[in-house]
Structures are given as structure tokens and as C-alpha cells.
A = this chain, B = another copy of it.
Amino acid sequence: MEQYLGIDVGGTNVKMGIVDATNGRISNFYSHDTASWRTSGHFIERLGDAISLQLAEFPEVSRVGIGVPGLITRDRTTLIEITAIPEIDGMEIVPDLKKRFPDHDFFLENDANAAALGEYYFGEDKLPEDYIFVTLGTGIGGAAIIDKKVFKGGGGNAMEPGHVPSRNEKVLERNIGKKELLDMANQMRANYTGSTQLPSDGTISTTGLVAAATNGDELAKQIFLEMGYMLGEGLVSMVRILDITTILIGGGISASFEFIMPAINERLNYWLTPYYLKTINIKRATLANDAGLLGAASLCFE
């Protein structure tokens, strides 16, 4: 039974665990707050200490996958810009860890890329070897998997769907990121004269929006259609540039999946030709909370 150590480095917590390669079961889960390692000035050493404890308990594990929230070098050895943890920018994390653990192999990847790959190896659905992965949350993240591998593009950091041009001279995530979605919702609520469950005091939440849409609230459904319309337009560019027609949608706001889909479908049908439409398939990602850790572990299949 092959096992990997998966590590999800986040701005709030660093999570790790031993992952069973055959079924994605996580054992020996461990989480540490990121802040104290940051302020210690020895982030990589503390991370190494935590890895050391895991490997001591699981001596048969030889591969370690690490997902980080930011830009990394194309050769996947070095951190370039980790906005949430600027102390580690520029660190040669893979060679550093390899020096301390010479018998182990380390696989570094951007966290959204890792989460995308995790869906292939550990997701509920059987996926094709090529797909686009888009996460809806504070920002709009993403990745592309081509031939079962993370698509790196030219410089190594391909797939920034949140930053393609969208409406009103804004990039996509400045239109439909979480804050922008709620701003739009509150705005549409203020102008709405019909009956709705949504509060009019500017306190609409994403869970409230999904709940209202689920209850059939017309305004909530309209808001998600607006969002889906803009997302669909961004997806069309990706489909045309990458020639990939399976699209997974994940992230917290993918709870809106069924409400954004009609608008996404309208846009895809408007912009795409039969060559694409005959195989187009949009579905919801399945890993949810463990996506980061399982994604990191999935890097070890390489």
C-alpha cells in the first residue's frame, strides 16, 4: 500500500497528513498555524521539523508533495512570490528539504494546480486526462491538467483565470470574486422591488444567497445568473486557447453550481462551435475541504 505525505501550505494553517495512494484516505493529520512559523523567521526549518515527525512515524513514506499559495519557478524547486507568507519568497524549498531528507523526494506545486490534480487521482468522478479546473472563492483561481499533468505554460505559472479581462474594464475576479459578488448582490437587492428573502441592509452572504436560490428566490437566482454569465465568458477563452472541454468548478462558492450553470451554458452555446460543444462537460469538483492536502499528495504520482 503506497503512501505519500501531503502538505498544504496555506496563509492561515499548514496542514499535512499521510495519504493512502489507492483511496485518498488521510491519516496522522496535523495542522499548525502559519503565523507562528512566519514570525519565527525559520519557516522552512519549522516545516522541516513537522515533516521529520511525520516521516519518523511512517518510515516507508518516501515521497512528499507540497502545495503553496503563490508563484513558483518553472523547475518546481523555488518559491517566487507567496503573497500570504512573504517571508519565504525566494526560498529554494525543494533543495533545502532535500538536504535535510536526502532519501526522500519532494514535489512542489502551486496549491490550485495541486488541488486540480488531486481531483484526477482522488476525486469521486472518473475524469479524462485533460481538464480545466476553476475555483470560485475570494478570488477566481484555476489550473489546467493536460495528459494527467499540471499545465505549466511558458514561465511555469499558467492559468490565471481570475485575471483575464472581463466586463467594465475589470479582470474576472474583480467582477465575481466573493466580495465583488456580494457587492453586486447588495446593489441588485437595493434596486429590486419584487419579493425576495435577501436582506436589504447590505448584509447578503454567499451562504444566504445559495439558500435563497435553493428556496426559489428569483432575485438570488438572477444574481447567480449574472455571475455565471461572466464566468462562462471567461471559460470560453480558456476552451479556445487550450482546446479542453471538461471543466471542473470548485471552491466555496461552487455551492452555487446549479444556479450559475444555466448562464454558463447559454454563453458556451453562444460562443463555441460543435467541435467543442459535442464534448463539453462542466461539473462540480468533489474534494471540498481536503482538496489542498490530497492535491499535494497527488503530486507524488509523477
Cα distance A237–B238 when bound, in Å?
Answer: 8
Of the residues B155, B271, B273, B279, contact of A165 by C-beta under 8 Å? B271
Given contacts A275-B71, A275-B81, contact A240 B164 (CB under 8 A): yes
Interface of A is mostly: mixed
A243–B153 CB distance below 8 A? yes
Which residues does chain B contribute within 8 Å of A160, judged by CB atoms?
240-241, 243
Residue of B nearest to A128 (CB): B154
CB of A81 to closest CB in B, whole Å = 7
Given contacts A243-B152, A275-B81, contact A237 B165 (CB under 8 A): yes
A244–B165 CB distance below 8 A? no
A158–B271 CB distance below 8 A? no
Mask of A134-149 contacts with B, CB within 8 angstroms, 1/0 = 0000000000101000
Cα distance A158–B155 when bound, in Å?
Answer: 18
Of the residues B71, B157, B241, B279, contact of A159 by C-beta under 8 Å? B241
A233 on the interface (CB 8 Å rule)?
A: yes
Which residues does chain B contribute within 8 Å of A155, judged by CB atoms?
130, 243-245, 279
A153–B244 CB distance below 8 A? yes
A161 on the interface (CB 8 Å rule)?
A: yes
Which residues does chain B contribute within 8 Å of A154, judged by CB atoms?
130-131, 144, 146, 242-246
Query: Number of A residues contacting the other chain (C-beta, 8 Å)?
Result: 37
Cα distance A284–B194 when bound, in Å?
Answer: 56
Residue of B nearest to A130 (CB): B154
Of the residues B157, B164, B242, contact of A243 by C-beta under 8 Å? B157
Residue of B nearest to A74 (CB): B243
Which residues does chain B contribute within 8 Å of A157, judged by CB atoms?
243, 275
Max chain B C-beta neighbours (<10 A), residue from A152, A243, A273: A243
CB of A174 to closest CB in B, whole Å = 11
CB of A248 to closest CB in B, whole Å = 13
Cα distance A81–B154 when bound, in Å?
Answer: 28
Cα distance A130–B130 when bound, in Å?
Answer: 21
CB of A198 to closest CB in B, whole Å = 30
Cα distance A160–B165 when bound, in Å?
Answer: 17
CB of A38 to closest CB in B, whole Å = 22
Of the residues B241, B244, B246, B273, contact of A238 by C-beta under 8 Å? B241
B242–A165 CB distance below 8 A? no
Which 10 pairs across A and B sit closest by C-beta, in order of nearness? A130-B154, A154-B244, A153-B243, A155-B243, A158-B243, A160-B240, A164-B237, A153-B242, A237-B237, A163-B240
Q: A81-B275, A130-B155, A160-B241 are in contact. List 14 more A-B contacts (CB 8 A).
A: A71-B275, A130-B153, A131-B154, A154-B242, A156-B243, A159-B240, A159-B241, A160-B243, A163-B271, A163-B273, A164-B236, A171-B271, A237-B241, A241-B241
